[in-house]
Structure 1
């Protein structure tokens, strides 16, 4: 009797899953893109106004982090010396993705209750303040102002990502998870700070 109940519930679940799959497969591409762009916008707003929303962890994606990483790599590659622009572009990609992977693995090894991809999603979205600052710093030639902007963006990125760690349940190991996050954003912030502006 129990086997029949499990089989029936599995069949209903499979039917519901196939129905949802058909719903998204039959929709126009423009609708799919708009839905994904709205999801990216909502996650960026969550980073700008950190409230520690658990839905951000549950509904992960890598499109937003990829776009942010690409934007930052292009921005820093533009103002790099001509013979170093490819190296800067590549190093930004490696630092962001490898760094996010290391921080995610560290969080999981410490007993965090969040998946690898969810952690990378949060870390990737939380570079948004640094990406905005890198674009603003294109037009700010004065180092002291850039230092202030980058400092604020670094603090904001770190605060936003650490805020999401409240849902990870690290108990008394929180400082061991926060330190790599601090280093991760510090390296990115340093690269933004030392990049050149359009005016020298």
Structure 2
């Protein structure tokens, strides 16, 4: 009887040792998985941090350029408004009109800095951003540039039409524009469209600037 009891106790001790060994192995594997997961997450967070910082750097440059464009184009809008008021003025001839023509013919073009954004998209690192609201704001900002492009392209198109009327009289050496130019409806309509397009283009610059500063505040 005592022998059986001793054998039973030894067997239980052996099972206990094996259980402890198994438990140690399980704990070790769990810790290893957690360490690997933590390491992978840490690497992803570093990549996301780099993406955010590089996009933020581009945004700051965009903000500076947008402020410059808005200031310059608002000054142009004021000059265009004055020019429209002067269209019926018989003294708006020669050098005066040439000066207005020069103002109208100055164009603006905003080239958004997309290097960091496009690199993040191409490498897939952009999709590591877990904050979906943030990633949507980034996408909305870069998509918003297309609205600005529309008015910039429209400006160039209208200036081409406008210049057809003016080039003959100024670039061919004539000192004055004929009365018929100022009575031409197409010429006057083109002048008005350039003015309205200018206002809309500035509004889009301001909207893009708003998106820019809002995005900077959350990066």
> What TM-score, normalized to structure 1?
0.29
- Which has the larger Rg? 2
Higher helix share: 2
> What TM-score, normalized to structure 2?
0.27
Higher relative contact order (CA 8 A, sep 6+): 2
